[in-house]
Structure formats: structure tokens, C-alpha cells
Amino acid sequence: MRDVYIVGAGQSAYGAFPDESYRSLFAGAFEEAMASAGGVEAADIDEAVVGSLGVGGRQLGLSGPAVTEHIGLHGVPCSRIENACAASGYAVRQAVQAVKSGMADVVLAGGYEVMTDMSGDVGKYWLGVSGETEWERLTGTTFAGVYAQMASAYVDAYDASPDHFSKVAVKNHANGAKNPKAHLGFECSLDDARNAPVVADPLNLYHCCPTSDGAAAVLVASEDVASACDDAVRVAGVGAASDHVGLFQRDSYTTIESSERAATAAYEMAGLGPDDVDFAEVHDCFAIAELLAYEDLGFCERGHAPELVDSGATELGGDLPVNPSGGLKSKGHPIGATGAGQVVEAFKQLTGRAGDRQVAGANVGLTHNVGGSGGAAVVHVLEGGAL
Amino acid sequence: MRDVYIVGAGQSAYGAFPDESYRSLFAGAFEEAMASAGGVEAADIDEAVVGSLGVGGRQLGLSGPAVTEHIGLHGVPCSRIENACAASGYAVRQAVQAVKSGMADVVLAGGYEVMTDMSGDVGKYWLGVSGETEWERLTGTTFAGVYAQMASAYVDAYDASPDHFSKVAVKNHANGAKNPKAHLGFECSLDDARNAPVVADPLNLYHCCPTSDGAAAVLVASEDVASACDDAVRVAGVGAASDHVGLFQRDSYTTIESSERAATAAYEMAGLGPDDVDFAEVHDCFAIAELLAYEDLGFCERGHAPELVDSGATELGGDLPVNPSGGLKSKGHPIGATGAGQVVEAFKQLTGRAGDRQVAGANVGLTHNVGGSGGAAVVHVLEGGAL
């Protein structure tokens, strides 16, 4: 297998942008990715793979070729991946396979979503699309309701309280306030987070990510290409796994098994383990998801995530900063863009471009992207300074 | 790059199946694929990639993991590709890349669609989803209307008449009548095809494929795995390309440029040319599309497709049988299943399993799958008896 590198990465701002389309947002992300990639031209791109949930109207089929033609990549093969909220994490993985296969030297991977163009309360159904159909969505379970069941089970099983969810929110908002691309780029106090209105008990508004518009783009390249580039981050490991789509079909509500299996595979491929990770971007669609991620990714033992939160280790100045970008909670969650957007943050961190939120001495970063409540998961282990 | 093989393939019947779901249809296809693959067990499957347009209700997000869990492949990475009608042609291509990358040894590629569960005339909007949004779909252009513009331009430009479209229908129905899995598995006469009601002038009912329910599944494997299997068909070449999604943006209405580029790439990778092809499964969503395919795939010069039809060369007993399965016209067109279903037919032909419609001496087969009116295309060149 040949080695594969990320040689450029960019994203649009995440937020509510009534004047933008999925195409204009992706064009912005692509422009930033190209500008960051000294040594690669648009003409070098052999193919593209993009992620989007894509039920928000507009181009219902073939939106992949529609975005690539818009950014001037006329004719290159392009397909769209849908794996709910893990769409573009899987797109990056597919790009890695395309380069490793030898069929391509430079692949554009990315994603986009426009979520804020729905009137009234239609938006809340949006995320429900990622839930199981017959026994979750059609029975009226919202997507926050699915994660609320996991949160309740976790609080019952371990020494945890909703305050731990609030502390995750405070941490991620503190990071997002340092990220000019964040959707909710403001700090919040523990009292703000504690006293927010309930969404799905025990989760309140500050325990839930926003729905966002946005796009992200990543340039994945072979070693030959990367060696001629200004910066290159090695894709040391990739892992992916699926699970029962419906929460009710799983053995445990306090772990996301697909995350654990994806991480195990990614660590094994990288020859690295959780102790080697300097920072991580994890899928905190709801605050409980970040706690589960700590455990599923091996950052602590089962049931010890609350301790890890309390210790401050996952804050920006801590031993293992998690979600330095602000995470889905503060940076935002434009579904199809999220997984690639995590890789964008990792690229910035590993090439010293993360500004005020730079993790000091970052050499190994991990990204963790979940589809639905765990029906799909994908993990990348990325290594800086490798060329 | 390591060599990649198809070691098993199966499909559900195509048709209108109110008692079936996307999951049960896919389970049937998977079962046939496994039964055909002496030497591979379900436990050997490393990952799965499935194609579906997927706007027909049911599992709106994460239907990939939903079908793999249903067939017992719990936990394996699975993603869904959407590239309109080329979804599962691209899924097979992605599986080829996954095996070539060395990250997987056996990959399940396939697709599914349930299209006949809509009341009244909603079905006609279904295919329109694959058209361009602002200037085609939302202005009221049906998908048949898009291809009717191509058909009109072709008849204007060359020595062609609607009778050539009718002859394609007669040929494909004659083949489909020999295929027990065909949706419209009956013969039609030239008069039947000539005198059918107009759908979008100059295309009449017999010049249009049906909307179908169905699924298809293909097992893609490394050479090591294939060498231990009963039968193996080599993936000699793969090519893909995209184009402007909207027909009005293209230079020509009488060629599908993405098909031509995909074929050129596939032939180059295979070290073969159109003269080496013994039979082809081409994307005849409308009869004009089969004529364009003859030219775009290099089976004849520009403007000479009508002659090729008149000669009988593309009939089952001819020099270059096209759509021995019955094609989209007679076998059916369950969107997400179609591309993988073409590979299923090629596998059957190249391993002597095609029954009454067997192409004598078939050694090289080509499959050609188009998304929308050509926004995406993917071509596989497959070689029998290679191991």
C-alpha cells in the first residue's frame, strides 16, 4: 500500500447563510483548500468524492457532479456519498482508498450541506432522517430524543450528571470563540449551559449542536505529489465500521460500538494508540456523544469520561485537547461537511495554522465522525511533519 | 496495482413488488451472489458499498448500514453512493478501488431501489430528480423530455428516424423475454413499438424504460481470493467521468461526453478497444440513449448507430450483442440497482450462466452506466476465463 497524505484543506464559515448555496459554499471551501496547498493545481485533481445528506431540496440527484462542475473541475469522476452525518468522513476515506489503489494521485474529498433554509420547525425533522425509520423516526422520536436515551442510560450507569454535559459545552464554546469559522463562536458560562431550556431530557439547548450551512474540502494525494508540496499531513490510519441503525437493536446504550471498532482499526493501521494522540476532533452532535467518544476512542476507561472532563485534560491547554475547533457544538454541524471539516481542522493544527486555538506541539491528530446514532463511524489518525 | 476480480454476482427479479422492501430485495440479490461464489463466505466480506438514489421514502439516511445489517454483515464498513442512475456502477468502481488499495480483499458492491410505491403520477417526478434542478426539473421538464431533446437533435443531425428507436425496443424485448428476472419480459413487434402512445415526442412508450423495484449485488475480490473461487471475471478496466448536469450547458445534444471519456479511460486501463468487446450492457433508459452509446463507446462512427441497428449486429445472434439481458428497457431500471445489475449480467455471460440468452464465445464484456442525462458515467471492461 502506498502512503497517502493530506496536502491542502479548507472550509467555508459554518452558520446560517441565506445568500449562499451548496455550490457557493463548496466553492469557498475549495478555494481555501487550493490556497493552502502549495504545489498542487486544480488541473492535477484526478477525481472527487463528496459527502452530503442532501435531502434539503435543490439538486436532489447528481449534486456531486453539480458541485465539481461549479468549481471548474469539468469532467473528473465525482460521486456523492451519503452516510448520514458521517458522509464526508467516509468521503475522505474513499479518497484515501482511491490514491492507495494507484488509480488516482490527487483526489478532492469534501462535503456540503444547506440546513437552515427550512421554515418553521421543519428543521427538527432534518436530523431525524438519520434515525432508524420504522421504530424511531416514524414513531415520533426526534434525533435529540435518541441521544437523550443514551444520556439517560449513561447517567444511570456511571458517576455522571448533566453538569458534565454542560462542561463539555463550556469547553467547546471556549474553543469555538477562537475559531473565526465557527457558527456559534461565543463563550458560554457554566450557568448559561446549566440553565438552558430542555430539548430532550436530560439534554438541554447547550447540550445540542446547531444545524448549520457549510462546506469543507480536503486534498488527498500520493507521496510523490506530497513530497513536492509545502505542507503534508500523513494519513497514518483509517478505520470505519457500521452498527445497527436503530439504537433499540444494540446491546448497549452507553457505548457506540462502531466508533470503538473504527478506532481500533485506525490505530492498528497507524501502529499508534490513544496515548500517542495529541488532540482529537470528535463527533459531539450532543454533549453525551463527546463523553462516549472519550471511552470508545480509548482516551479513558469505561465510565471515566466524567472524570476526564472534570480534570480539564481535554481543554485547549490540557494534555489531550478535544475539539479545539469548537466541535459540532460551537463550530457547527452542516451534516455532509462535518467529517471533512474535522480533517480540515486537523490539517490546520498539524501544520501550525490554527491561530489562537493552536494545540502546542501537535504531531498526531485523530478525527472521529459518526453517522446517525452510530450506524456508521469513521476514524482517521493523522501525522504531521512526516515528509 | 493489484488485479481485481468479480467472483460472484446476483440480482433480485426486477419489477413491481408491493410486498418487498429495499432490504428484502437486496437480501435476495445477496443470496444469489453468495450462491454463485464458490469459495467465498459472508464472513470474508471486509466492506460494502451500495448505490441508491433513495428519495422514495423509507430509510432516508444510512440505508447502506441498514441493508448490510439486514443481510447479516453486522459491523462491516458500509456507505451509500448516489450518482443518480449511475449510483451502483460507481459503487462497483469504488469496490474495485478498495480492493486495489489493499485495504480490503473482498468487497460487496450493489444497489437497490423501490420505485413503484408511489400513487398516481408521482412516479414521473422520480426520475426528474436526476435532471438539473433550476433549468430542467423546476421548469417542468420531465426526464423523458430531456432525452426527447437529444432524440430530436439526433434525428435532425443524422440519417435516423423514430423507427430506429422502435427497433432497439424490439431487440431488447426479444432478449428480455429470455431473462426470467426481467420486469417486462415479453416480446414486442415492430408495429407494437411504432404505434405506442407518445410520451415526449419523438419518444413513445416503447422508447422508454419502466420504473422498477429491484436490487443487485456483486462480490469484488483480490487475485488471491479469486484464485480459490470456482469462477472469476477480471476487472480489466474501469473508467468514469462527469459532465455538466444540465443538458443545455453542453456543446452537443447528440453525444454523451462523459460516456466517451469513461470508455476511453476503461479501454486504456484494459489495454483493449471496442473491437475486442464481445457483448455490452449499455444504459438504454430511453432508446436514443442506446444509439448514442454505440457511438460514445466506439462501436461505430458518429451518426452510424442507425446503420448498426439496421444491420442486426447488436442482436443476440449478431457480431456485437448489446443488452442481452433485455437492458433497462425490458429487464427494467430500478435506479440504484442498474449499474451493478449490468455487472451481474456480464458475470453470468462470462461464466456461461446466461441460459437462453447466452452470448456464444463471450470473453470480453463491457458495462456502461449513465447518471442523469450524462452528468456521470462509468464503464467497466470485464474479462472471462482469466484465472
Question: Quick check: is A132 in a domain?
Answer: no
Q: Any CB–CB contact under 8 A between A164 and chain B?
A: no
B66, B75, B100 member nearest A241 (Cβ):
B75
Nearest residue on chain B to A87, alpha-carbon basis: B79
Q: Can you tell me the distance from the alpha carbon of A225 to that of A40, in angstroms, rounded to the nearest whole number?
A: 8
Nearest residue on chain A to B266, alpha-carbon basis: A103
Apex B25 CA angle, B86 and A79, nearest 5: 20
Q: Which residues of B touch A129 (CB under 8 A)?
A: 60-61
Question: Quick check: is B190 in a domain?
Answer: no
Q: Can you tell me the distance from the alpha carbon of A127 to that of A200, in angstroms, rounded to the nearest whole number?
A: 14
Q: Do A61 and B103 touch (CB under 8 A)?
A: no
Grid coordinates of A299: 482516551
Q: Which residues of A touch B333 (CB under 8 A)?
A: none
Count of Cβ atoms closer than 10 Å to residue A2 Cβ = 13
Residue that the C-alpha cell 449499474 belongs to:
B339
Count of Cβ atoms closer than 10 Å to residue A274 Cβ = 16
C-alpha dihedral sign at A239, A245, A249, A253 = positive
Q: Do A77 and B242 touch (CB under 8 A)?
A: yes
Q: Which residues of A touch B245 (CB under 8 A)?
A: 59, 62, 65-66, 69
Map A123-184 to HEC letters.
Answer: HHHHHHCCCCCCCCHHHCCCHHHHHHHHHHHHHHHCCCCHHHHHHHHHHHHHHHCCCCCCCC
Question: Quick check: is A147 in a domain?
Answer: no
Q: Do A97 and B90 touch (CB under 8 A)?
A: no
H helices of chain B, in order, are 22-36, 63-70, 87-101, 123-128, 143-157, 162-176, 190-194, 223-226, 257-270, 287-296, 305-311, 327-330, 335-350
Smallest Cα distance from B257 to chain A, Å: 9
Indicate if A333 belongs to the active site: yes
Q: Which of B220, B218, B195 has the alpha carbon at shortest distance from B206?
A: B195
Buried b (16+ CB within 10 A) or exposed e, B238-255: bbbbbbbbbbeebeebbb
How high is the pLDDT of residue B123? 58
Q: Any CB–CB contact under 8 A between A129 and chain B?
A: yes
Does the pLDDT of residue A140 top 90, yes or no? no
- Taking only the tens place, the pLDDT of each residue in B218-259 is 999 999 999 999 999 999 999 999 999 999 999 999 999 999
How high is the pLDDT of residue B130? 75
Does the pLDDT of residue A12 top 90, yes or no? yes
Q: Any CB–CB contact under 8 A between B21 and chain A?
A: no
How high is the pLDDT of residue B120? 55
Q: Do A242 and B98 touch (CB under 8 A)?
A: no
What is the domain-level CATH number for residue A13?
3.40.47.10
Question: If you ran DSSP here, which 8-state letter would residue B385 be given?
Answer: S
Grid coordinates of B155: 434525428
B82, B244, B262 member nearest A82 (Cβ):
B82
Question: Quick check: is A102 in a domain?
Answer: yes
Q: Does residue A202 have a cis peptide bond before it, meaning omega lies within 30 degrees of 0? A: yes
Residues of B annotated as catalytic (active site), given as ranges? 85, 333
Q: Do B245 and A59 touch (CB under 8 A)?
A: yes
CA B304 to chain centroid: 23
Apex B70 CA angle, A147 and B379, nearest 5: 105
Question: Quick check: is B132 in a domain?
Answer: no
Does the pLDDT of residue B111 top 70, yes or no? yes
Does the pLDDT of residue B122 top 60, yes or no? no
| Domain limits for position B368 | 4-119+210-383
Q: Do A59 and B133 touch (CB under 8 A)?
A: yes
How high is the pLDDT of residue B116? 85
Interface test with B, best of A55, A97, A113 (most B CBs within 10 A): A97
Interface predicted TM-score of the whole assembly (ipTM), two decimals: 0.97
Q: Which of A109, A30, A161, A163 has the alpha carbon at shortest distance from A339?
A: A109
Question: Quick check: is A26 in a domain?
Answer: yes
Question: Quick check: is B163 in a domain?
Answer: no
Q: Can you tell me the distance from the alpha carbon of A235 to that of A240, in angstroms, rounded to the nearest whole number?
A: 14
Summarize the confidence of residues B330-335 as an average pLDDT. 97
Q: Can you tell me the distance from the alpha carbon of A14 to that of A110, in angstroms, rounded to the nearest whole number?
A: 14
Q: Which residues of B touch A137 (CB under 8 A)?
A: 60
Apex B294 CA angle, B185 and B268, nearest 5: 120
Q: Do B371 and A59 touch (CB under 8 A)?
A: no
Smallest Cα distance from A312 to chain B, Å: 33
Q: Which residues of A touch B88 (CB under 8 A)?
A: none
Q: Which residues of B touch A78 (CB under 8 A)?
A: 83, 242, 376
Q: Which residues of B touch A244 (CB under 8 A)?
A: 69, 74
Q: Are B329 and B193 in contact (CB under 8 A)?
A: no
Q: Please tell me whether residue A353 adopts helix, strand or coil conformation.
A: coil
Grid coordinates of B47: 466492506
- What share of chain A in percent tops pLDDT 70? 96
The total of structural domains in chain A comes to: 1
A75, A100, A241 member nearest B242 (Cβ):
A75
A69, A98, A372 member nearest B61 (Cβ):
A372
Nearest residue on chain B to A131, alpha-carbon basis: B61
Cβ-Cβ contacts under 8 Å for A206 (sequence gap 6 or more): A165, A166, A169, A188, A192, A193, A196, A287, A329
Q: Which of A165, A213, A205 has the alpha carbon at shortest distance from A331?
A: A213
Summarize the confidence of residues A15-21 as an average pLDDT. 93
pLDDT band with cut points at 50, 70 and 90 for residue B1: confident
Does the pLDDT of residue B121 top 60, yes or no? no
Catalytic residue among A164, A173, A283, A333: A333
Q: Are B369 and B377 in contact (CB under 8 A)?
A: yes
Higher pLDDT, A283 or B53: A283
Question: Quick check: is B32 in a domain?
Answer: yes
Q: Can you tell me the distance from the alpha carbon of B153 to that of B206, in angstroms, rounded to the nearest whole number?
A: 19
Smallest Cα distance from B69 to chain A, Å: 6
pLDDT band with cut points at 50, 70 and 90 for residue A56: low
Q: Any CB–CB contact under 8 A between A62 and chain B?
A: yes
Counted across chains A and B, CB pairs separated by less than 8 A come out at 197
Q: Which residues of B touch A80 (CB under 8 A)?
A: 81-83
